[in-house]
Chain A
Amino acid sequence: MRRFKYLSGGFKAAAVATVAALVGIAGFGHAQAADKTVKVGITLPLTGADAEDATKIKNGAMMAIEESNASNLIPGYKLEVVIYDSGTATAGQYDPAQAATNTKKLVSDNAVVANIGPQMSGEGKAMSPILSEANLATITPSSTNPDITNPAMAAQFRPKGKAVYFRTVTTDAFQGPNMANYVKDKLGVKTVYVLDDSGAYGVGIADSFQKQAAKIGIKVLGRDQLNPKDADYTTILTKIKAANPDMLYFGGVAQAGVKLAKQAYDIIPNVKKAGGDGVKGASFLKGVGFPAVEGWYCTDASPELLTDPKVQEFVKRFTAKYGVGPDNYSVTAYDGALVIIDAIKRVIAAKKEVTRENVRDAIQSTKLMTLQGEVSFDANGDIVSKIVSVYQYKRNPAKPVDDEAGNSVYLGVAPESPQT
């Protein structure tokens, strides 16, 4: 009986509220109408070997969305974030199958109009065809494998034709080859041994590095592949020691990279070591630790942003909010979210309905000033700017040992073609 009474009380209250709301709308017109909600997905490997970097990306995106909601950047609309984790216990890192499952969930929710992610190209390859079927755009702040946006592979990755995979970083079509140019020009590397971690990103960037290296006259002494779940890389490192290259180039992410770097420090201490953006970041730095990580070269497929004067204010806000400093890819994630917010605004301004198709079209025609400069995309979804930045890990005793930005130095931009 008591419950019944309570319920009917609730109904009464609801009725009163509804009447009040109706009166309110009638009385004040549209001004006081409740905000509409649109959803934006975030899919990243938030657990596993790359969790730390993924979290920094998530925080970058979240910050833009929260700031937009707080300052009412899209009048009449609130953004709601849906977060999915694509890391699984079986994989121990990102899991393409989980990324695909998450994407299906996003697609099935009609309120989701855009997505931010993934972190890894292996996830992206699984997600892109599903996104394409739904015309749901995603903006990746860090995945760099060029296949996904390659028009020659459109049948596989965007069967419906329109670009859905947008990037606020450039691709490994530049990251690998430009680094090859850099190591030849600036580091005087003449011979190299190339490894990858058998993931989509790792194989792709190692291939593109190797191809350019061979083209500009760096001798490739060998190429092999690591199983990221294996613990022991002493066999391959012993072979590399015997081959005695100037440099070891590793295409891959933290899970294999951490073990490789630890064992390489013991076995081939005098060989230069380099990798792509997969070995740049706190996951790799903390996993390997000093002194083994000292001297490793790495790249980001974006301009150097953290020391950019225009970004300082962001760095401060980010650090104050999350207690740790951002990565370059926190900035590209922030930029990605800004692009989505801007696209939704333009859809509304054009008096169109906020659907995923309209938001996708608006993202395609983006011309937006962001933290990294002006962002616009080509017909395939790739960012127009193609800058690859080179870094090296160097212990800075003034900084905490796990501070990635504090313990690496920016060396410059890797050139698109060799200077010598």
Chain B
Amino acid sequence: MTFYLGFLRRYSLVIVVAIAAILLMGFGFLPEDFWQILPQQVINGVSLGAMYALLALGFTMVYGIIELINFAHFNVFMLGSFIALWVFQAMGMESQNVVLYGLPLVGALLAALLVTMFLTGALGMAIERVALRPLRGISGTAPMITTIGLSYIIYNLVLLGFGADTKNYANPLPPTKWEIPPALLFGDQAEIRLRELLLWGVSLVLMAGLHYFVRRTKLGKAMQATAQDQEAARMMGVDVDKVVQTAFFLGSALAGAAGMVFGLYYNYTSFIIGYSAGLKAFTAAVLGGIGNIPGAMLGGVLIGLIQSVGGSIIDVRWTDVIIFSILVIVLVFRPVGLLGRAAPTKS
């Protein structure tokens, strides 16, 4: 299992292009206004993709280290959006009309982000310690089923605690938007909103931070070593339990951050949001090559783009069909995903 592969394999690109070509041929012609709205759809798609990528990282890190698909991740993300909402409300942003500017805005966002990430990270660690560590070393599906159970527990607790209705989110971002003039693009003018910039900014900073952590710090290197060979790492003095805890903490903290930006971006939350976002993020992790960190980022952005650009070629009701067909096609030709490398067989 490998974490890093610095370049896109040439034939993965060929496959992606081939799929795009097949899609275009299959669905006939591009709609008239396709090129005009493409820039805006790319902005939409990258926003979606950044969120999927944040979520996909959690799946991929845990899988990379203990080869477990952590389904509780779906609802850690959902809980994250509720925690952030709670922090915003505690700061007095009960209604839709409290809008902040400048430093107070940055401060409020940062506070909410940190509290959310810390709490969801701690929840991730607790999940690992209480429910998964006792099952470590048990082969088969038991640990995975345990994560599904945990996922349902979180889901139902939120449902019972907060009710089933859609919650209005705090709305501290001013409705600022910038228009990108048509001259800069080949299509119509596109709009970019502050909340999109926030989403991109948060994702970029967090992903860069994760990259730095994994590559440069001692614990990060220990994670890489554990991912390659747990036994060997243990023999070299790596504290494997600590590494696994770290992976759960980081993955869940990123999910919490994704939950917060989800709430701010769409201006709502509900106990049900984990399902569709989580499923697509998981798909992104598999598409990029599960266990591979850059793969998760790439997969997330690709799925986001497929969803928005694909949706502008044909009816949006077909979006899920396109996404999952592409997943199937990629996996048929490249079972380890776009950036994944075939795992060396473990003894």
Contacts and interface: CB of A to CB of B under 8 A. Distances in A.
A226 B319 CA distance: 10
A361 interface: no
Contact of A283 (B45, B165, B193, B272): B165
A242 B36 contact: yes
Contacts of A92: 164, 270-272
B315 A242 contact: no
A242 B164 contact: no
Interface in A247-304: 254-255, 258-259, 262-263, 266, 283, 286-287, 289-290
A372 B57 CA distance: 57
Q: Interface residue tally of chain A, by bracket?
A: 35 or more
A225 B315 contact: yes
Contact of A224 (B155, B275, B315): B315
B166 interface: yes
Nearest to B166: A287
Interface stretch (A23-31, A48-56, A170-178): A48-56
Interface stretch (B18-26, B107-115, B304-312): B304-312
A44 to B, nearest CB: 13
Interface string B256-300: 000000100011101111011100000000000000000000000
Interface in A212-232: 224-227, 229-232
B329 to A, nearest CB: 21
A19 to B, nearest CB: 49
Contacts of B315: 224-225
Nearest to A291: B96
Contact of B320 (A227, A242, A289, A290): A227
Contact of B155 (A48, A89, A226, A239): A89
A198 B316 CA distance: 12
Contacts of A238: 37, 40-41, 44, 308, 312
A115 B303 CA distance: 47
A289 B277 contact: no
Nearest to B195: A266
A259 B268 contact: yes
Given A243-B33, A262-B267, A263-B266, A235 B166 contact: no
A61 B50 CA distance: 48
A172 to B, nearest CB: 20
A47 B162 CA distance: 12
B142 to A, nearest CB: 24
Contacts of A286: 165, 168
B268 A230 contact: no
A235 B272 contact: no
B223 to A, nearest CB: 31
Nearest to A91: B272
A198 B33 contact: no
B159 interface: yes
A224 B168 CA distance: 26
B307 A289 contact: no
A319 B84 CA distance: 35
Contact of B272 (A227, A229, A290): A229
Contacts of A226: 316-317
A234 interface: yes
A239 B40 CA distance: 10
A289 B312 contact: no
A275 B317 CA distance: 19
B240 to A, nearest CB: 37
Interface centre among A231, A232, A236, A258 (most CB of B within 10 A): A232
B266 A239 contact: no
Given A92-B270, A235-B308, A47 B164 contact: yes
Nearest to B316: A236
A89 B270 CA distance: 11
Interface string B312-342: 1001110110000000000000000000000
A287 B308 contact: no
Contacts of B273: 231
Contacts of A235: 41, 44-45, 307-308, 311-312, 316, 319
A118 interface: no
B229 interface: no
Contacts of B267: 262
Interface in B75-102: 96
Interface centre among B48, B159, B164, B271 (most CB of A within 10 A): B164
A87 interface: yes
B67 interface: no
A87 B40 CA distance: 37
Contacts of B317: 198, 224-227
A381 B93 CA distance: 49
Nearest to B314: A224
Interface centre among B156, B193, B272 (most CB of A within 10 A): B272
Given A231-B277, A235-B311, A259-B268, A224 B166 contact: no
A254 B316 CA distance: 19
B302 to A, nearest CB: 15
A262 B188 contact: no
B166 A258 contact: yes
B21 to A, nearest CB: 21
A254 B268 CA distance: 13
A286 B267 CA distance: 13
A255 B273 CA distance: 11
Nearest to B311: A235
Interface in A1-60: 47-49, 51-52
Nearest to B266: A231
A227 B322 CA distance: 14
B193 to A, nearest CB: 7
B189 to A, nearest CB: 11
A123 B138 CA distance: 44
Contacts of B320: 227
B278 to A, nearest CB: 11
Interface in A78-106: 87, 89, 92
List 6 A-B pairs, minimum CB-CB distance, nearest first.
A235-B311, A225-B317, A92-B272, A287-B166, A234-B44, A235-B308
5 contacts: A89-B164, A227-B320, A235-B316, A239-B33, A286-B165
Given A229-B275, A235-B316, A262-B268, 10 more contacts: A47-B163, A89-B156, A92-B272, A225-B317, A226-B316, A231-B277, A235-B44, A236-B316, A259-B166, A287-B166
